[in-house]
Amino acid sequence: MEPVKGGNLATPPASVEKILKDAEPDSSCASWAVRFAADLDGVITVLSGMSNLEQMRDNLSYMKDFKHLTPEQKKVIEKASIELAKLPIIPCTTCNYCAKVCPMDIGISASFASMNMYTLYGNLGLAKHNEDWNVAGQGHKRANECIKCGACEAACPQHIKIRDELEKVAKVLL
């Protein structure tokens, strides 16, 4: 499940994309994530969400006759993983399992998207506008209204420390 982290690895930050494209210019970034998952011991099925025909064709192009990753490809993935880990982004995939259990109706994933926008692009005004539009504008409560009950963290498949991240959002964006 979620080999492309809710689509986040299909369009990774530029520094990560460069590593993958330098190694295989004709391969999509998403293909690296799916092939990594398919290459793991014991995996017999990889579930990859697709939004259009082009994405389906891409998946079929490398999975129809799947070949295990070479040692060189594994090194590329390790290098890309190290680069990605340098970026302090919140690894939210917007599944919204957290939001379904939040008693305060906090706009968790939208707040995280706004914070990631600020982290990646450094535009505080745009991040605050995104926060206003996608949280308050949609009728959700803001990060600073979290009561820290922890229900969200128990539901999060990415094991994000949601309460801590919401505190950071409140300090930076509100």
Show the domain range for 110: 97-173
pLDDT in tens, the chain (174 residues): 577 776 778 888 889 999 999 999 999 999 999 999 999 999 988 888 888 999 999 999 999 999 999 999 999 999 999 998 898 889 998 999 999 999 999 999 999 999 998 988 788 999 999 899 888 788 899 999 999 999 999 999 999 999 999 999 999 999
Same domain assignment for residues 15 and 70: yes
Residue 169 included in any domain? yes
Q: What global pTM score does this model have?
A: 0.67
Residue 91 included in any domain? no
Phi, psi angle pair for 106, to nearest 5°? -75, 140
Residue that finishes a domain, picked among 26, 51, 86? 86
Q: Is residue 64 a contact partner of residue 34, using CB atoms and an 8 Å limit?
A: no
Number of domains the chain is built from: 2
Same domain assignment for residues 61 and 124: no
Residue that finishes a domain, picked among 44, 61, 86? 86
Q: Is residue 141 a contact partner of residue 104, using CB atoms and an 8 Å limit?
A: yes
